[in-house]
Structure formats: C-alpha cells, structure tokens
Structure 1
C-alpha cells in the first residue's frame, strides 16, 4: 500500500493530509487526494483542487 501523502493549498497554505482526512468537512481519514471529487475546493479559501501541490518530504 502506498504511504499517505500531504497536499498544500498554494493560495492559503492549508494542508490536506490523506491519513487524517477532514472529518469536519465530511472527508473520512484515509481518503486519497485523487479520490476527492474534481469540484472539491479548499474549505479555508475556496481554491480549486488543482491549486494544491504535493508536499515532498
């Protein structure tokens, strides 16, 4: 299984962590970024999914 990844919003810096999900937004822990709907947007600033970048550690 592929390790969980983190993605950062390029506009506000919000981190989407696949391992944690966003339960307060209805996104279960373990949800992969690519499995989010194409019309998903940043809950903090409203940026589109394509405005997120993979964080490489």
Structure 2
C-alpha cells in the first residue's frame, strides 16, 4: 500500500497525530503539507520524537 498525501501519522512515542490538513503551526509547516514533505529533521511537536518514530494511521478500516 502506498502512502497518500492526506494520510495522518502518529508518533510512536507519545501518540500525537500529524494531520496534513492542519500542518504544524509551531514549526512553520503550512496546512496541506504531506508528512513525506516534512524535513528529515522535523520533530514531534509534543515530545520531540524523531520523524522516523511516526507510523502511518490506517483509516481504511
């Protein structure tokens, strides 16, 4: 299954969800920015976990 631009991602450390529709205002990430487009050094806004710790949420249940 390939990733879609609107997929939401969840931090594996603190369970914070990155929603592309909302972006990340604190980090200057505009709404509509897909997770894959975030810089590699982007961190979880809640626990400072690395981008690599995020898992795609399967909303197709």
TM-score category, normalised to shorter length: 0.7 to 0.9
State the partner residue of 1:28: 30
TM-score, normalised on structure 2?
0.82
Q: TM-score, normalised by structure 1?
A: 0.87
Cα deviation for residue 25 of structure 1 reads 2.7
* Aligned-residue CA RMSD (Å): 1.3
Gaps in structure 1 of 5+ consecutive residues: none
One of 38, 44, 50 as aligned partner of 1:48 = 50
2:12 touches 2:55 (CA, 8 Å); kept in 1?
yes
Q: Report the count of equivalent residues.
A: 56
Relative to its length, the structure with more strand (as a share) is 1
4+ runs deviating over 3 angstroms? none
Q: Which residue of 1 aligns with 2:10?
A: 8
